Amino acid sequence: MVKTETYTLNMGPQHPSTHGVLQVVLELDGELVIQAIPHMGYLHRGIEKLAESRTYTQFIPYTDRLDYVSSMGNNWGYCLAVEKLMGITVPERAEYLRIIMTELNRMASHLIFMGSLAIDLGASTGMMFGFRARERILDLFDMTCGARQTYNYIRFGGVSVDIPPQFIPELKRFLADFPAMLAEYHELLTGNEILYHRLKGTGVITAERALEIGLTGPALRASGVDYDIRKIEPYGIYDRFDFEVPLGKVGDCWDRYIGRMEEMKQSASIVAQALEQMPEGEVMTKIPKVIKPPIGDVYHSIENPRGELGFYIVSDGSTKPYRIHVRRPSFINLQVLNETCQGLLIGDVVAVLATLDSLMGEVDC
């Protein structure tokens, strides 16, 4: 009689498919996962504490460093919260620019998701394809605000600078090319039988459980729950656009993958509509030189590529925030990892991690 026992295996913090410095302690029975306990904090910089010694304006660049592949959304979420507290309204053109930038950033973020999912499952060219299209978007950001990743573009009362003249033609070219690019990715990845069998039926999260455990974003919608803040509590001017929220049925890795691919299409459509409607005019309203929100607290959340990104700000009436708390979707989404991985094979942990799409810059804050 052979005696068997379980063993523990450290996955990360230095592991390419944990997308940063996440450590997952796996308890394994042969190849079967019994427990997958996430350990975070390797990238903890104490951004919430740093905020207390910075002025409100100085904190905007810190938000770039939370979810660093969708920084536009972070800028916007923070600015919206402060604007709500101070009662600032934003010029029309700036509203459109915010939408265009954030939706482009959502596409860039989902392209990284697609590329990293492919490379995690062994298709290394997938990464190149994802980054090829993303590069076009980053060029657009670069020509507008001079940065490719940490933009500091959306400010209180508008955006920092208007788009340059070559922006719109370049964006139109990109939007014209994008459907063909997406079709190519679908052909290469979605039509790939290996990818299909790796993802289909793997890591199922039911709708009830997803809601209970606090999943948000594409991961929640893949389970069939219709919760998209752009639709249910439209912020900015999202109520002016016609777009659909793709929902999954089963809540497996496949649904989480397809949902994000579909979202890119919807984002492209929002950008096209915004381009058509966008008026000329100011991009920044008159705001006080020194930002001093009235005493009080505010919570505002937006739909980021990874889920509900919320900012809770407490103001004591001075120039520095008394307390800022960031509700980070990646952090809360990781709660589901352990129970989803139980009973799967060790190779499937990578698929679950990739489709949850947690980003460590945001998890550790």
Partner 1 sequence: MSNLDINEVLAALQAHCGESIQLIGEDSQAALLVMPERMLEVLDILKTNELYQFNMLRNLTAVDYLEYMEIVYHLYSLPLRHAITIKVRCTMEDSTVPSVTKIWPSANFQEREIYDLLGVDFTDHPDLRRILMPEEFTEHPLRKAYNFVANTGEKR
**86 near partner 1, rule: CB under 8 A:** no
Which of residues 111 and 229 has its CB atom nearest to partner 1 in the complex? 229
Q: Which of 17, 323, 344, 345 binds partner 1 (CB under 8 A)?
A: 323
Q: Any idea which residue has 């069939």 for tokens?
A: 224
Strand partners, 7: 28
Which tokens in the block code for residue 185? Answer: 């990715």
Q: Which of 103, 303, 362, 364 binds partner 1 (CB under 8 A)?
A: 364
**59 near partner 1, rule: CB under 8 A:** no
**DSSP per-residue letters across 286-352:** ---SS--PPSEEEEEEEEETTEEEEEEEEE-SSSS-SEEEEE-HHHHHGGGHHHHHTTSBHHHHHHH
**7 near partner 1, rule: CB under 8 A:** no
Q: Which of 178, 227, 241, 257 binds partner 1 (CB under 8 A)?
A: 227
137, 107 Cβ separation under 8 angstroms: yes
Helix 71-86 × helix 92-120 angle, to 10° = 140
Shortest distance (Å) from residue 312 CB to partner 1: 6
**331 near partner 1, rule: CB under 8 A:** yes
Which tokens in the block code for residue 97? Answer: 């620019």
**332 near partner 1, rule: CB under 8 A:** yes
CA–CA separation, 57 vs 256, rounded Å?
36
Q: Which of 48, 135, 142, 170 binds partner 1 (CB under 8 A)?
A: 48
Shortest distance (Å) from residue 132 CB to partner 1: 35
Q: Which of 184, 233, 239, 244 binds partner 1 (CB under 8 A)?
A: 233
**40 near partner 1, rule: CB under 8 A:** yes
Which of residues 184 and 212 has its CB atom nearest to partner 1 in the complex? 212
**DSSP per-residue letters across 48-74:** HHHHTTS-TGGGHHHHHTTSTTSHHHH
Residues in contact with partner 1, counted by CB under 8 A, come to a total of 34
Q: Which of 308, 348, 357, 362 binds partner 1 (CB under 8 A)?
A: 308
Tell me the CA distances in angstroms from 127 to 138, 180, 276, one per residue in order. Answer: 16, 17, 32
**50 near partner 1, rule: CB under 8 A:** no
CA–CA separation, 283 vs 161, rounded Å?
7
**317 near partner 1, rule: CB under 8 A:** no
Q: Which of 15, 54, 65, 84 binds partner 1 (CB under 8 A)?
A: 84
Binding site for partner 1 (CB under 8 A): 40-41, 44, 46, 48-49, 84, 211-214, 225, 227, 232-233, 296-299, 301, 308, 310, 312, 314, 322-323, 325, 327, 331-332, 334-335, 364-365
